């Protein structure tokens, strides 16, 4: 501020404060605009993926929900059916059996692999040699790089009357237990379940091994000093420390059991009879063999709801506290 004699006087305090406020406001407006531009740029980068997701995920899901309320053969005119398709899902013995079979497969696809993974991971932790540990991890992970359809074909050969399973039984003197495993009404579903156990155990073991690696080794040393044996260490340290990893394993494997398709279809196609039908195979057969697109869509929607109804509580149960 310039005085009458030409000298510059300091500006009043109020004017200085007002200038600072105006500067901050301009900076805030500029910062907000910059943040908005950044947000729009982010959406633009994500737009191609969002379009693909909408076209190949959201649209089919919404279409399946729509078709589930109609009787349609996939070609002719669709007629409204209301909730009749959903009622048949829970009343037709064949459809109810497929849902029950998927719950039975949870024991083979989820419970057995997680249990075996815990045991194998605990044993592998004791291997001191890096080379031996690496070989063990590689062998356990091999089933994961083989497609489920290919694994099912290989196991179908092993389950054949002259396959490796029956030959092994004969070699150890158990000829009475030889069977046509995938053709037996009683043993076909457990035989398919064993394929799922073989596929999932390696993944569960590696996930649990990674979880064991994050547990502080000094805790095990302290437990040994206190006199705890291996089993006590497992239940007191390892099992509680793997809470989140066990949750991930159970989530992945339960979804695989409920939504199983490739292993069952390539090994038995739901046979013999309907003894190994699961919702995934039933959805395919209803839509492409029996031309009951509406009924197929209703079963698919019910299957999705079942998966969410089981997985969401599991997520809360295994959440870290």
pLDDT in tens, 199-218: 999 889 989 988 988 888 89
Greatest Cα pair distance in the chain: 120
Is the model's pLDDT at 295 over the cut of 90? yes
Here the tokens at position 132 are 């031996």
Q: Please, what is the angle between helix 164-171 and helix 148-159, to 10°?
A: 40
Q: Note the pTM of the prediction, 2 decimals.
A: 0.82
pLDDT in tens, 35-79: 777 778 878 888 999 999 999 999 999 999 999 999 999 888 889
Domain spanning 84-317, CATH architecture = Orthogonal Bundle (1.10)
Give the pLDDT score at 2.
47
- In the block, residue with structure tokens 């495993």: 181
SS3 content of the chain, % helix, strand, coil (to 5): 75, 0, 25
Q: Are 82 and 69 spatial neighbours (Cβ–Cβ below 8 Å)? A: yes
Give the pLDDT score at 3.
47
Give the pLDDT score at 318.
84
- In the block, residue with structure tokens 């692999």: 113
pLDDT in tens, 98-153: 999 999 999 999 999 999 999 888 887 777 556 666 777 777 778 888 888 999 99
C-alpha neighbours within 13 Å on the C-beta side of residue 10? 5
Give the pLDDT score at 4.
47
Q: Which of 207, 203, 219 is nearest to 151 (CA)?
A: 203
273 φ/ψ sector (left φ>0, alpha ψ -120 to 50, else beta) = left
Q: Are 201 and 116 spatial neighbours (Cβ–Cβ below 8 Å)? A: yes
Give the pLDDT score at 129.
58
């Amino acid at each position: 501020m310039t005085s009458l004699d030409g000298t510059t006087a300091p500006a009043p305090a109020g004017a200085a404060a007002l200038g600072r406020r105006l500067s901050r406001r301009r900076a805030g407006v500029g910062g907000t605009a910059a943040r908005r531009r950044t947000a729009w740029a982010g959406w633009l980068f994500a737009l191609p993926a969002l379009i693909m997701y909408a076209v190949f995920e959201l649209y089919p899901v919404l279409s399946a929900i729509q078709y589930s309320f109609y009787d349609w053969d996939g070609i002719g005119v669709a007629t409204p059916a209301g909730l009749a398709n959903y009622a048949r899902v829970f009343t037709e013995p064949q459809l109810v059996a497929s849902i029950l079979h998927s719950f039975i497969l949870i024991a083979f696809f989820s419970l057995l692999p997680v249990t075996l993974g815990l045991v194998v991971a605990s044993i592998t932790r004791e291997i001191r040699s890096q080379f031996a540990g690496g070989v063990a991890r590689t062998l356990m992970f091999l089933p994961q790089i083989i497609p489920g359809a290919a694994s099912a074909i290989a196991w179908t050969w092993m389950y054949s009357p002259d396959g490796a399973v029956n030959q092994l039984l004969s070699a150890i003197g158990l000829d009475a237990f030889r069977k046509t495993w995938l053709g037996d009404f009683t043993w076909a579903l457990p035989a398919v379940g064993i394929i799922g156990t073989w596929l999932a155990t390696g993944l569960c073991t590696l996930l649990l091994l990674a979880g064991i690696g994050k547990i502080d080794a000094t805790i095990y040393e302290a437990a040994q000093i206190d006199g705890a044996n291996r089993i006590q260490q497992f239940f007191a340290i390892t099992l509680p420390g793997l809470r989140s990893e066990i949750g991930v394993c159970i989530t992945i494997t339960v979804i695989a059991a409920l939504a199983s398709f490739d292993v069952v279809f390539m090994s038995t196609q739901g046979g013999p009879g309907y003894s190994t039908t699961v919702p995934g195979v039933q959805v395919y057969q209803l839509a492409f063999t029996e031309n009951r697109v509406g009924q197929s869509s209703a079963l698919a929607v019910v299957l999705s709801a079942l998966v969410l109804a089981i997985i969401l509580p599991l997520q809360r149960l295994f959440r870290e506290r």
